[in-house]
């Protein structure tokens, strides 16, 4: 059968939306990875994706049907996708094709050219240059490829959380990041400002909001040409000031002088200032929280959908205690903490030695106790505070210095963790009342790899200051004080690194997934014994039991426990 006839027969069975061509110039389309559509052959002209509506379709083209075959074109497409599939996103653990990053692929067999767009989750992706370099090298290694046209792109800002009820000024903000310390004088504002400008240097659209009415620091730390907030007379929205490409709002730019107000008045003012500002399209909005865990912090978290929080501390014990309170506050409000910043961690003396004037270990204790994924330390550097006092953040003043590189590490950590939150498991930990067990499915594991834990064991292995002496590491919780039949009252995810479990005795536990993975698992015999015990008590209709057709949750866990390779 001639190629033109074969194409006509197959194309007549295929519906292609948004593409209309004369009958004599029919093309064969079929879906590939992620629902992308590919045109495998055209006759007699070359189809260009630029002539079509913007979408995620992929096109292969050749000059005339007589010059090629469907098999040859399929082979070219497969080779390109296979080459790109060798590139793994280290955060998602998937190749960039399966991640859906490859868009508008076009292969022209006339001159051996390959064109496509790589659409990342954020313009601030810390490894986008590595992706581009590796993609070009992999495709250029194909024997028939002469040229590679690659455009690096990013998805437009889209809120991580639903925007139902979100104020108009924040509807186009993709991610809102809280920077909090719960204690003054630890360098929180310095961290917030330098983080915001670091994200901007990484390619993102960024804004920063100073939520401290009593002592706004942003007007001192940046030097915008226009230093007074303006209001749009038509929309009544506040227009932020701008400095070095970053939009900024602070009560200090309102021209109101000193603020003498009670707590509820301040909370309302801060909320109004944040939500009525016209932020426009932003990838990240950094919010510099005032110290503490009072009305302002609670009002902000309850009225605005924060994507994540960065916790700032110093090595002192007092700072650790206050920060722990803040982390628990964010956990209760379902705001995941993605990084710990330990400021004033050390300084390097003229004698070449490193000194720790405030002690060591506070950051590690916070990271270990709450399972936070990233810890970044900053030394005592005179230039850091001098840059802030001079109205030009250090990362702007000295973008290639060692301190700026540490802020890049922090920015990269925030970008990675926030991107992973879109794929975070919503039910990684749940309670199965039919087994009286906590069922865990860690991120990246398949359903067949679920395992079960004894709730009492999880409760007894709490690592918070209520159970472990954070300075000596000695366990102060008595195992016998936790009853065998204890059950959770509530379970909710905390980002992609932990679950918050509210126990029926009133205790709230943040259980890192790493901790759960290390605990002894219930084997098949233990699970079967629990199931029979519950059945004999004739407990029926409890949430977490069997439901629907097929295997019940308990039966599925039993099967998984019997599978080889389970711990």
β-pairing, 206-210 with 230-231? unpaired
Nearest residue to 114 (alpha-carbon basis) of 85, 89, 86, 137: 137
Which token pair is 32? 């590939």
CA gap 409, 540 in Å, rounded: 52
Q: Cis link prior to 44 (omega < 30° from 0)? A: yes
Q: What's the pLDDT at 85?
A: 93
Residues facing 118 on adjacent strands:
102, 152
What is the 3-class SS of 404-430, one letter each residue?
HHHHHHHHHHHHHHHHHHCCCCCCCEE
CATH 3.40.50.300 domain locations along the chain:
168-421
Q: What's the pLDDT at 291?
A: 83
Nearest residue to 418 (alpha-carbon basis) of 160, 80, 56: 160
Ranges under pLDDT 70 in the chain? 1-74, 157-166, 255-266, 422-427, 443-449, 470-471, 495-496, 537-567
Backbone angles phi, psi at 539, to 5 degrees: -85, 120
The answer to whether 454 and 522 have CB atoms below 8 angstroms apart is yes
Our separate counts of H helices and E strands in the chain read 16, 26
CA gap 268, 295 in Å, rounded: 10
CA gap 367, 338 in Å, rounded: 10
β-pairing, 347-348 with 113-120? unpaired
- Looking only at Cα atoms, what is the longest distance across the chain? 86
Which token pair is 349? 């003396």
Q: Residue 178 belongs to what H/E stretch?
A: strand 173-180
Burial annotation 341-363 (CB, 10 A radius, 16+ → b, else e): bbbbbbeeeeeeeeeeebeeebb
Q: What's the pLDDT at 482?
A: 94
CATH 3.30.2020.30 domain locations along the chain:
429-562
Please, what sign has the CA dihedral across residues 262, 268, 269, 270? positive
Nearest residue to 131 (alpha-carbon basis) of 123, 77, 496: 123
**H-state helical runs in 169-316:** 188-201, 218-221, 263-275, 295-303
CA gap 284, 398 in Å, rounded: 22
Starting at the edge strand found earlier in the chain, the sheet holding 498-503 runs 488-494, 498-503, 508-512
CA gap 380, 163 in Å, rounded: 41
Q: Residue 442 belongs to what H/E stretch?
A: none
Count of alpha carbons within 13 angstroms of residue 295, beta-carbon side: 12
CA gap 372, 441 in Å, rounded: 19
**H-state helical runs in 95-239:** 128-140, 188-201, 218-221
According to DSSP, residue 30 is labeled E
Q: Residue 174 belongs to what H/E stretch?
A: strand 173-180
Q: Residue 313 belongs to what H/E stretch?
A: strand 308-313
SS3 397: helix
Backbone angles phi, psi at 439, to 5 degrees: -100, 125
Q: What's the pLDDT at 71?
A: 56
187: exposed, middle or buried (C-beta count within 10 Å: 0-12, 13-18, 19+)? buried
Look up the CATH superfamily of 3-154: Fe-S cluster assembly (FSCA) (3.30.300.130)
Backbone angles phi, psi at 488, to 5 degrees: -80, 145
Which token pair is 65? 């049907």
According to DSSP, residue 135 is labeled H
The answer to whether 482 and 456 have CB atoms below 8 angstroms apart is yes
The answer to whether 280 and 312 have CB atoms below 8 angstroms apart is no
The answer to whether 94 and 73 have CB atoms below 8 angstroms apart is no
Looking at the domain that runs over 168-421, which CATH code has it been given? 3.40.50.300
Looking at the domain that runs over 429-562, which CATH code has it been given? 3.30.2020.30
Which token pair is 172? 């186009």
Please provide the distance, in angstroms rounded to a whole number, between the alpha carbons at the two ends of the chain.
57
For the entire predicted model, the pTM comes to: 0.66
Say how many C-beta atoms besides its own lie within 10 A of residue 505's C-beta: 12
According to DSSP, residue 493 is labeled E
Instruction: Give the C-alpha distances (Å, rounded to integers) separating 435 from 528, 531, 535, 567.
Output: 8, 5, 10, 18
Backbone angles phi, psi at 407, to 5 degrees: -70, -35
């Amino acid at each position: 059968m001639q190629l033109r006839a074969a194409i006509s027969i197959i194309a007549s069975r295929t519906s292609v939306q948004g593409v209309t061509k004369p009958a004599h110039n029919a093309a064969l389309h079929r879906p590939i990875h992620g629902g992308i559509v590919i045109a495998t052959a055209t006759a007699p002209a070359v189809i260009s994706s630029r002539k079509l509506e913007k979408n995620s379709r992929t096109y292969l083209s050749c000059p005339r049907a007589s010059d090629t075959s469907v098999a040859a074109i399929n082979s070219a497409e497969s080779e390109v996708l296979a080459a790109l599939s060798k590139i793994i996103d280290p955060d998602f653990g998937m190749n960039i094709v399966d991640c859906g990053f490859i868009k508008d692929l076009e292969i022209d067999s006339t001159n051996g050219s390959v064109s496509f767009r790589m659409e990342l989750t954020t313009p601030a992706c810390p490894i986008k240059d590595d992706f581009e370099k590796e993609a070009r090298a992999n495709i250029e290694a194909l024997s028939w490829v002469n040229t590679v046209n690659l455009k690096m792109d990013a998805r437009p800002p889209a809120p991580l959380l639903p925007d139902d009820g979100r104020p108009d000024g924040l509807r186009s903000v993709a991610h809102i990041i809280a920077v909090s310390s719960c204690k003054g004088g630890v360098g929180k504002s310095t961290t917030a400002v330098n983080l915001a400008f670091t994200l901007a240097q990484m390619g993102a659209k960024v804004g920063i909001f100073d939520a401290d009415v009593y002592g706004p620091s942003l007007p001192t730390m940046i030097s915008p040409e226009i230093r007074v907030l303006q209001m749009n007379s038509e929309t009544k929205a506040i227009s932020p000031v701008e400095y070095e490409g970053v939009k900024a709002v602070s009560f200090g730019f309102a021209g109101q002088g000193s603020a003498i107000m009670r707590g509820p008045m301040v909370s309302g003012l801060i909320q109004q200032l944040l939500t009525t500002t016209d932020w426009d399209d932003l990838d990240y909005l950094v919010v510099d929280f005032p110290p503490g865990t009072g009305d302002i912090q609670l009002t902000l978290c309850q009225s605005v959908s924060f994507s994540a929080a960065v916790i700032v501390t110093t090595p002192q014990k007092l700072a650790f205690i206050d920060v722990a309170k803040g982390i628990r506050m964010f956990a209760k409000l379902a705001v995941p903490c993605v990084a710990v910043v330990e400021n004033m961690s050390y300084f390097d003396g003229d004698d070449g030695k490193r000194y720790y004037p405030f002690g060591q270990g506070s950051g590690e204790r916070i990271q270990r106790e709450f399972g936070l994924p990233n810890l970044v330390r900053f030394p005592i550097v005179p230039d850091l505070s001098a840059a802030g006092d001079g109205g030009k953040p250090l990362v702007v003043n000295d973008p290639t210095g060692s301190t700026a590189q540490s802020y890049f590490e922090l920015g990269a950590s925030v970008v990675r963790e926030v991107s992973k939150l879109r794929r975070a498991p919503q039910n990684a930990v749940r309670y199965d009342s039919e087994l009286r067990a906590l069922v865990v499915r860690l991120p990246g594991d398949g359903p067949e790899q679920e395992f079960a834990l004894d709730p009492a064991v999880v409760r007894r292995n709490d690592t918070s200051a209520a159970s472990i002496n954070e300075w000596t590491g000695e366990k102060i919780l008595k195992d016998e004080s936790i009853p065998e039949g204890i059950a959770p009252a509530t379970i909710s995810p905390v980002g992609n690194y932990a679950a918050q479990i509210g126990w029926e005795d009133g205790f709230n536990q943040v259980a890192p997934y790493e901790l759960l993975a290390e605990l002894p698992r219930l084997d098949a015999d233990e699970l079967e014994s629990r199931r029979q015990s519950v059945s004999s008590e004739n407990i029926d209709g409890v949430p977490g039991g069997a439901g629907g057709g097929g295997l019940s949750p308990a039966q599925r866990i039993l099967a998984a426990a019997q599978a080889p390779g389970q711990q």
